[in-house]
Amino acid sequence: MAEIADKTVVHRASTDDATPTHAPAKGSSALLPLADIPAGQWRALAEHVVEPNAYYLPEWALAVSASARGRMGALALSAFSDAPLAYDGPARMIGLLPVVSLWRAYKIPLPALVTAQPYGTLCTPPLDCDLAEAAAERLMLEAGKAGAHALVLRDMSLDGKAMRAFTEVLRLNGMRPRLMQSYLRACLDATRNADELLLEALGAKKLKELRRLRHRLAENGTVRFEVARTPAEVAAALETFLVLEASGWKGKRGTALAQHVGDAAFIRRATAALAETGQCEIVTLRAGDGPVAAAILLRHQDRAFYFKLGIDERFAKYSPGVQLTLDLTRHLCSDPAIRSADSTAAPDHPMINPIWRGRFAIGDVLIPLRRYDPLVPMIHTALAVHRLAEEAARGAVRFIRSRGKSP
């Protein structure tokens, strides 16, 4: 039971499940390896979703599942339209949900499926914008076929259209979602004038101080903001980013992407593939010839996603991460194709929160699959206990680190 998503179902999948032109046949596995989802149908769905999420674009998610540390081997629930197939044409995919078992996600031996972490803190699944409720309902049915009693949708946009679709399906079936945890995350309204937005967010005094620091930074060479867009530019800029990230505190903690073969392979593959479709940019701030900060930016429909930032800590007194983010804000606000940007940052992030003052709710939601299922409260309780244990562990780590900094 613990390995519901990993063993019980996968052995039933046949080679017909992975054919590029048809939906899985009736009676076939409800779950497929993510790599077996027909790429053309996935891309077509990504262009027609109710809510954008660059972290579940096929180029990104497949790269994560192929080699990223602790995130390999994700499976997927898929939903297809009932519309008749064209002669030898593809079925229309209307929903997709990358998942892992509750055991793999949290070491909890109960029958539930959990959205797979895509190396970005947003797991809102792609649902067809015209058939969002039908897609949500079919994904829930497929989860039930796989033996799950609940879905755990973690890192969901709580007020978005995808969550509304799941909530409506539950309501029509006499059920409701259970919110496990939530927080507010920083975002950018890119339809606004950047200078007005930054003045409102930071105030004239703080902006003046940042301009003074930028002039000081310019003593090391002309300060310039660069945007890499083409595959060749992105590949070169990525190596700069990887060096910067590994040189800082992430490198000291062993969490920089370049420090792990699988993570490095994932980010090189994903950024290269998304650059081909114009959905990845890498921005770099330089002082003279030397990079002082760089960040990876993903794009999906009218939304941008601020993935990761790396800085040269030798220039920390000039606030290079903030300086880069100010330029990035102006860059996004001047782009008519972008209406908003998700910081994908932790709650109360000390750098991004004062600059991007928009907020939206992110949370983990438990979706029951059957009415009055006695296992659902058990799953809920087990997740709550796990969360409390994690919070206690994080508190202990913070205490130890703070003691280590004491004189």
Mean pLDDT over each residue of the chain, to the nearest integer:
90
Q: What does the pLDDT average to over 63-86?
A: 88
- Which residues, 6 or more positions from 152, have their beta carbon under 8 angstroms from its beta carbon? 102, 105, 112, 113, 114, 115, 180, 364, 365, 366, 367, 379, 383
Q: What does the pLDDT average to over 107-129?
A: 97
Q: Which CATH class is domain 4-184+361-401?
A: alpha beta
Percent of the chain as helix, strand, coil, to the nearest 5: 45, 25, 30
Other beta carbons within 10 angstroms of residue 230's beta carbon come to 12
Return the residue matching tokens 């019980």. Answer: 8
% residues pLDDT > 90 (the chain) = 84
Q: What is the CA radius of gyration of the chain?
A: 22
Same topology, domains 4-184+361-401 and 191-338? Answer is yes
Task: Kindly list the domain boundaries of the chain, sorted by start residue.
Answer: 4-184+361-401, 191-338
Q: Is residue 380 over pLDDT 60?
A: yes
Is domain 191-338 in CATH 3.40.630, yes or no?
yes
- Which residues, 6 or more positions from 235, have their beta carbon under 8 angstroms from its beta carbon? 268, 271, 272, 275
pLDDT tens, 150-178?
Answer: 999 999 999 999 999 999 999 999 999 99
pLDDT score, position 89: 55
Which of the four pLDDT bands, split at 50, 70 and 90, describes residue 295?
A: very high
pLDDT tens, 224-244?
Answer: 999 999 999 999 999 999 999
Type of residue at 3: E
Residue with the bigger pLDDT between 17 and 94: it is 94
Which of the four pLDDT bands, split at 50, 70 and 90, describes residue 188?
A: very high
Q: Is residue 87 over pLDDT 60?
A: no
Q: Is residue 62 over pLDDT 50?
A: yes
pLDDT tens, 271-285?
Answer: 999 999 999 999 999
